[in-house]
Amino acid sequence: MTDPHETSAPLAYQSVGQTVAQFAEGSLRSLALLDVLLERIEAVDAPTSPTALNAVAAIDPRARAVAAERDEQRARGVVLGPLHGVPIVIKDNIEAIGLPGAAGSTALVGRPTRDAPLVERLRAAGAVIVASTNLSQWANIRSARSTSGWSATAGLVSNPWALDRSAGGSSSGSGAALAAGLAPLAVGTETDGSIVCPASVNGVVGLKPTVGVVPATYVVPISSSQDSPGPMGRNVADVARLYAALSATTPVEQPPARVVVAANWRTGDPATDAHFDDVVAALGASGVSVVLRDVPEPGPEQNDDELVVLLGELVDDLSAYLADRPGPGVHSLAEVIAYEDLHRGREQPYFGHDLFVQAIATGGRAGSAYANARTRNLAWARDVCLGPALLDAEVLLAPAYGPAWKSDLVVGGHPGPASVATTPPAIAGWPIASVPIGFVHGLPIGAALIGRPHAEWRILEVAARLEAQVALGFDRYRPSFPPPTRG
């Protein structure tokens, strides 16, 4: 299947830099671009369309009025910031006035929303918030049997590169929307892998910043020690522009970054790992300082400790968030469980909420297991794994995910080939990014880049070098929405 709305593709896929330049010279208006994207959403994403991506959860009814306002401001010589008039979509666990902020759950449908501080930053930079994006419900912390990209409010997100394959999770809709040309920029959130995974399998760029750099207030939480909203886009320069607005930071001139490759962090997919090795060799040949090093991998103890921490923080943090959110409805995790049991047919048609039940049983941060698990987990991630790995370098490089796996709502849709790259920085709260490095069997794969706290600009520097090295280009790097197949 070819792009069902090919006539809009050139404009829909151009870079943010090109769009901003066209705005400035007067050859493109924000409202005109927004109308192209809204028409494209209807053609590509809607349940009635041939492709039915389900990437978009809801459209902001004020988007066209805001775009027209941005055009009028520009005509008067007023430019609010680096995103003036640029359309953007945000994950549906982020509150914004005019959008549901439902985290994929019918339990939150109709609850009033506020502008999260990160949304205020986007509006101050001039962005036009177009829509919220579908996600793995409750950011994929509900069940060990969950299918990535499914929510009770908006169904299952499809991958534009192959409609029967997963768009990853939990920022599924953000990744798929970018790949499908529905918006030039998106905001996702990550606790462990939720930006990196959809970025990798949808062939886009994503950055999970250091925890705390982008405020998570009014974002439906899992874990205050690991949650981080972050920018997503189709190239590194676009993500850097969005990151600057979200973080209120700018790059500082520094010597070129030194790179360590985690030689033993493999996805287990031979073609992905071989391609990654070729890209690393080419990066080194281009003049980047690259050193190969074995880096400790998380084992059962580290994974078990992380789960104890996440569930312990979930019961406290989500309950506190729900109690604070305006309007009637669920006000604790226990009430969410009761609501989902009462509405089992809508909320639990394919899998349950076993992790929610386990979270209640932990007793939260005051429970007997939490403190020791967090201490062990953090010490391992910082002092055993990442600290020694980055002792003499700024960026740690590894394969991210292999090709997207097929979605399966019957038996659960768990990730296919993947390295362990997301887990150590998730535990430590350190930044990580994913950048596309090519294709395996026609499906995108990505590389993960990890840095010390607040090293986002160094990560983006190396990501840009990597992007230039693989030189995929926009003309070649567009999905064709192939229908489901065998195999």
* φ/ψ of residue 37, rounded to 5: -70, -40
Q: What is the pLDDT of residue 2?
A: 54
Q: What is the pLDDT of residue 415?
A: 74
Residues 437 and 322 in one domain: no
State the burial class of residue 80 (Cβ atoms within 10 Å of its Cβ: 0-12, 13-18, 19+). Answer: middle
Which domain range does residue 368 map to? 300-378
Residues 147 and 216 in one domain: yes
Among 378, 412, 445, the domain-final residue is 378
Q: What is the pLDDT of residue 473?
A: 61
Q: Is residue 481 part of a domain?
A: no
Residues 418, 289: contact at Cβ < 8 Å? no
Q: What is the pLDDT of residue 8?
A: 81
> Token digits for 441?
């069997």
Q: Is residue 387 part of a domain?
A: yes
Helix or strand (DSSP H, E) at 440: strand 432-440
Q: Is residue 479 part of a domain?
A: no
Residues 387 and 421 in one domain: yes
Helix or strand (DSSP H, E) at 292: strand 290-293
Number of domains present in the structure of the chain: 2
Residues 322 and 422 in one domain: no
Residues 264 and 115 in one domain: yes
Kindly write down the DSSP assignment for every residue of 449-477, as one continuous string.
EEESTT-HHHHHHHHHHHHHHH---TTT-
Q: Is residue 475 part of a domain?
A: no
Q: What is the pLDDT of residue 196?
A: 98
Rounded Cα–Cα distance for residues 281 and 283 (Å): 5
Residues 316 and 457 in one domain: no
The closest of 379, 333, 377, 378 to 358, measured between CA atoms, is: 333
Q: Is residue 244 part of a domain?
A: yes
Q: Is residue 477 part of a domain?
A: no
Residues 217 and 290 in one domain: yes
Residues 289 and 305 in one domain: no
Rounded Cα–Cα distance for residues 94 and 112 (Å): 12
Q: What is the pLDDT of residue 363?
A: 98
Residues 178 and 267 in one domain: yes
Rounded Cα–Cα distance for residues 307 and 311 (Å): 6
Placement of tokens 């060799």 in the chain? 281
Our CA angle for 62, 190, 241, nearest 5°, is 60
Residues whose CB is less than 8 angstroms from the CB of residue 131 and which lie 6 or more positions away in sequence, other chains included: 41, 56, 57, 58, 59, 60, 63, 89, 90, 99, 177, 183
Residues 126 and 256 in one domain: yes
Q: What is the mean pLDDT of each run of 10 residues along the chain (487 residues)?
A: 68 96 98 98 95 98 98 98 98 98 98 98 98 98 96 98 97 98 98 98 98 98 98 98 98 94 98 97 94 98 98 98 98 98 98 98 98 98 98 97 95 84 98 97 97 98 95 72 91
Active site residues: 91, 170, 194
Q: Is residue 174 part of a domain?
A: yes
Q: Give how far Cα 391 sits from Cα of 48, 348, 452, Å.
A: 53, 46, 10
Tell me the pTM: 0.98
Rounded Cα–Cα distance for residues 195 and 189 (Å): 6
Placement of tokens 């369309």 in the chain? 49
Q: What is the pLDDT of residue 7?
A: 73
Q: Is residue 55 part of a domain?
A: yes
